[in-house]
Amino acid sequence: MGSITSLTAEDRHSFSAYIAEPRGPAKGGLVVIMEIFGVNSHIKAVADGYAAEGYRCVAPALYDRFERNVDLGYSAEDVAKGRELRGKMNWADCMKDTATAVAAAGSAGRVGIIGYCYGGGVAWAAGALVPGLSASIGYYGGPWAELADRAPQCPSLLHFGAKDGMIPVSLAETLKAKHPTITTHVYDADHGFNCDQRPNNYDAFAAAVARRRSLAFLEATLG
């Protein structure tokens, strides 16, 4: 189990972050970016899981700029609330807070970033805009289409679901054509396939394969 700490961005905005520490020597740092549901129990579990693999994980509460302590589930009402909150975000402030989280994770060495849904878009944007990143990993990133022209400045890995009704799988080819150095994988799975709290979306096999690939990617880029 991790703990909650407070971080301060360059514009003096103070926000919370969930920190999960490895038990032994750290292999590096990893910023874990939330879905539209805030730093909820799933994102904390993801951070705990990567900490168990040796990474110092920092999961910033990106909604703190306008609503604190956001911790949503996956009901229809939660989805609606998450989308409402997502609509209030802007990329400039998001990148400030993400950069602060990268610096916090940097005490463990080289830093990667991993994000899910909205966070997948944040991870892609950070890979293009935030200095100090050695790897970027995104799962079914909602904002990828609007960010397609942003060129990653670090090795980048993207996971797509072939059954995803929100993010067309054709985007994998589009992004690969624009940025040939990135790695993309497509799974026979739906949006949110990594989240075991979403029974209608979760795909244990796809999640396991994607996690194995993500860990190998981190070993190669942060090691």
Kindly report, residue by residue over 130-149, the tens digit of the pLDDT: 999 999 999 999 899 999 99
User: Does the reported pTM lie above 0.95?
Assistant: yes
pLDDT at 21: 97
Beta-sheet strands, E only, within the chain: 3-8, 14-20, 28-33, 55-60, 111-116, 133-139, 156-161, 183-187
The shares of helix, strand and coil residues in the chain, as percent rounded to the nearest 5, are 40, 25, 40
d(CA 51, CA 60): 15
Whether 121 has a pLDDT exceeding 90, the answer reads yes
Tell me the average pLDDT of the chain.
97
Nearest to 151 by CA among 110, 122, 117, 180: 180
How far the first Cα of the chain sits from its last, in Å, is 24
In tens, the pLDDT along 8-25 reads: 999 999 999 999 999 999
Spatial contact of 113 and 133, defined as CB atoms under 8 Å apart: yes
Burial class (CB in 10 A: 0-12, 13-18, 19+), 164: buried
